Structure 1
Amino acid sequence: MRELTKDDVIAAVKGGSVFASGGGGWVEHGLEIGTAAITLGRPKLASVDELPDDAIIITCTAIGAPAGTDWQMLGKDYVKAVQLLIEAYGGQVAGVMTPQNGMSSSINGWLPAAALGLAVVDATGDIRAHPTGKMGSLGLASRIDYETVQAVAGGKPEIGSYIELVTKGTPARTSNILRTASDMAGGFIAAARHPLPAGYIKKHAAIGGVSLAIELGRSIVDAEPRGPEEVLETICRVTGGRFVGKGRVSKIRVRYAGAFDIGTIEVGTGKKKLTLHVMNEYMAVDNRDGERISTFPDVITTFSLDTGLPVSVGHLQEGQNIGVFAIDKSRIPLSSSVKDPSVYPEVEEALGIPLQSYALDGIEPFRPADHAPPAAYV
């Protein structure tokens, strides 16, 4: 267990921005919340092995679409969501974790941890960012034999959109309720969910996910004085990823719908044209002939070739010169979340493309019936 520092904040945001896969929040928000955390208290990063199996860990996150324009999430909203969950849970909580890495989501739980004296657990529900809560729910998405509690807080009081909500029930039903709350709050909302014993986290999370982002971020910081090309080469070397294509953004067709950004982005022209399928994050890449190049849970990220920085879906512009980067799923830790076949149909329907057959190719699927449910939170 070690104390998190300002250098860790910067590194987590830079490394998390690669794993953000076009979503995962915003750089400015991550730096702001991370700095607030280390100013308010002394949050500590803990290995899950440092906690007893019965220690309760909760997930801290933000729910919504990066292109939402009328939302507000303050630091106190992250803390309030955790307080609401702990009150509803009625037991002692030892630590917080994030469901995913991202530009700000790698740091999701740091501020509540600092404010409430909790550990930041070095585990993620998914190494990369993803669009639905079910994709970071550690294999709980389809369980009807586990009752969870989830809480949200956020919105603008001055226009009447601020919401606090606590919901109990199955993970799938409660996740859908929180998505609706996010939309009603303006497009994004702070959330806390799923009190789970550390023993369950050890078996089903992507262990070391936060450290992975921090270590990548440190390598990026070291490479930055040598220019954008060196940064991109460093990212490829450290992650084992590669650029699957480069070119100008030729067409953006992404719309906001129900707290999701959904659509396609085309890069390049002619034989080198790529189509990126978006649901908040990049979920798949096809070539000109419709052949699949990369699919979630691969990391898929767009980089500015001029700056060497990741560019999110919401900040891409037609005519921008970018590189499309991918890390194969075989090179990253995979949680039960992304091995669960039940998390894919919802996203496949929204995008109108197959995902599951590609995502689970070569992977032993997670079958809830083969695993005992975690102890109920009450």
Structure 2
Amino acid sequence: MKRQLTPEDIRAAVYGGAILGGGGGGFVERGLRTAELALQVGAPELWTADEFGHDELTATVALVGAPAAPDPLVLPTHLLRALELLRRDLPRPLAAIHTNENGAETTINGWFHSAMTGLPVIDLACNGRAHPSSQMGAMGLHREDDYRTHQGYAGGKPHTYVEGAVSGHLTNTSNVVRRASVESGGWVGVARNPVEIGYAVRNGAPGAISFAIELGHRFLADGPAGAAEHLGGGTAVSGTVREYRCEQREGLDVGVVVLDDAAGTTLRFVNEYMTLDLDGERRASFPDLITTFDEAGQPLASADVTVGARISVLVAPAANLQLSPTMYMPELYTQLEEMLGVEFAPAEKVLAGA
């Protein structure tokens, strides 16, 4: 099915994405601005994967960086430049593009590209919730020994602007792009990892954009309680933030939130919330969805949490999300566990990835 994206889709996509961001995935206001601009300059289209041949080529469009970085800037022109740098290195033309994840800014990844280039956006994400590492958004390509990726990137203010194109092994090129995000001031727009659409369907999360839009409509109608019901989850805890720490490490926000409640509630995050502990016991761990809301009931990114703020924490089980197989590849959790100093890849994840 083909559909032209409309003004009614914007708020639903951004707010649904913000909830699925689980603390990461960008910021609501910036997502709204970019999506509105896309509809002002063109007519972006969302196509289901069955509109394409399985051997046609698609590529991921993404944002890479640390949301709490002090001086980030990615403009729509940077997004187009990243795509241009990727396309010049490809052996054959792209038929479409797709986003890496769901988030306030990332659900609408590709809308501006589509409006300006005519390339349709596939109703598919590399993963149906936000995640911190490029490999988690690479649909298992790190396990493909013969795969050679191409990545284009651009971003930064005039005095920190960087752009480039890099080809090679997925891990090495992703490290280059992550470092570029640091040098740019915190964020870069990226176009990367061209694959055949059949591969993306098997290894990604088809239907992820529609899923976010439906969730957003429910949230806009019924608030956090409606979103929780839609996701088969609930509010795990509410409280006032007693402690908040966040530092940029390897181009990522790494930190902890502690609530001033009897349970000693602790949330740990690497961009996205990774763990929620109540009374010293694990209540949820990534890829379960852990999302914070402010006192007004608006989705709150981990980078925007402040000491003294009253927040509520929504939890929804991973089984109720549109997730890709990468979320159950245990090797992708090692770096994150090292950053946080805690283990949170439970046995069932290892078994599912085996």
Taking structure 2 as the reference length, the TM-score comes to 0.96
In the alignment, what sits opposite 1:370? none
Aligned residue among 220, 245, 249 for 1:257: 249
In the alignment, what sits opposite 1:301? 291
Distance 1:328 1:147 in 2: 34
SS in 1 for 2:266: strand
In the alignment, what sits opposite 1:372? none
Distance 1:295 1:328 in 2: 9
Q: Check conservation: 2:59, 2:94, Cα contact below 8 A.
A: yes
Q: Check conservation: 2:129, 2:321, Cα contact below 8 A.
A: no
Distance 1:242 1:141 in 2: 34
Distance 1:359 1:119 in 2: 37
* Residue-pair matches, total: 353
Deviates more, 1:350-359 or 1:102-111: 350-359
In the alignment, what sits opposite 1:49? 50
Distance 1:320 1:71 in 2: 24
**Shift in alpha-carbon separation, 1:358–1:107, aligned structure 2, 3 A:** farther
SS in 2 for 1:12: helix
Gapped regions of structure 2 (runs ≥ 5)? none
- After TM superposition, the structure 1 = structure 2 runs for residues 70-219 of structure 1, keeping only pairs within 5 Å, are 70-157=71-158, 159=159, 161-219=160-218
1:119 partner amino acid: P
Post-superposition offset of 1:308: 1.1
Deviates more, 1:44-53 or 1:134-143: 134-143
**Shift in alpha-carbon separation, 1:284–1:244, aligned structure 2, 3 A:** same
Q: Check conservation: 2:129, 2:323, Cα contact below 8 A.
A: no
Deviations 1:324-374 (A, max 9, x none): 11110111122122122221111111111112225706x5216xxxxxxxx
SS in 2 for 1:356: coil
Distance 1:51 1:358 in 2: 37
Q: Check conservation: 1:277, 1:283, Cα contact below 8 A.
A: yes
In the alignment, what sits opposite 1:242? 234
Q: Check conservation: 1:249, 1:265, Cα contact below 8 A.
A: yes
Distance 1:308 1:347 in 2: 29
Post-superposition offset of 1:118: 0.6
2:230 partner amino acid: V
Aligned residue among 332, 337, 340 for 2:321: 332
SS in 1 for 2:171: helix
Post-superposition offset of 1:258: 2.8
Matched, 1:282 2:273: yes
Deviations 1:275-300 (A, max 9, x none): 111111101112232x2111111111
Deviations 1:70-98 (A, max 9, x none): 12111011111011101111411011111
**What percentage of aligned pairs have identical amino acids?**
35
Distance 1:92 1:330 in 2: 36
Distance 1:298 1:113 in 2: 31
Distance 2:239 2:72 in 1: 33
Deviations 1:205-250 (A, max 9, x none): 1111110111111122233xxxxxxx12211221111111111111
Gapped regions of structure 1 (runs ≥ 5)? 224-230, 367-378
Distance 1:25 1:69 in 2: 14
1:347 partner amino acid: L
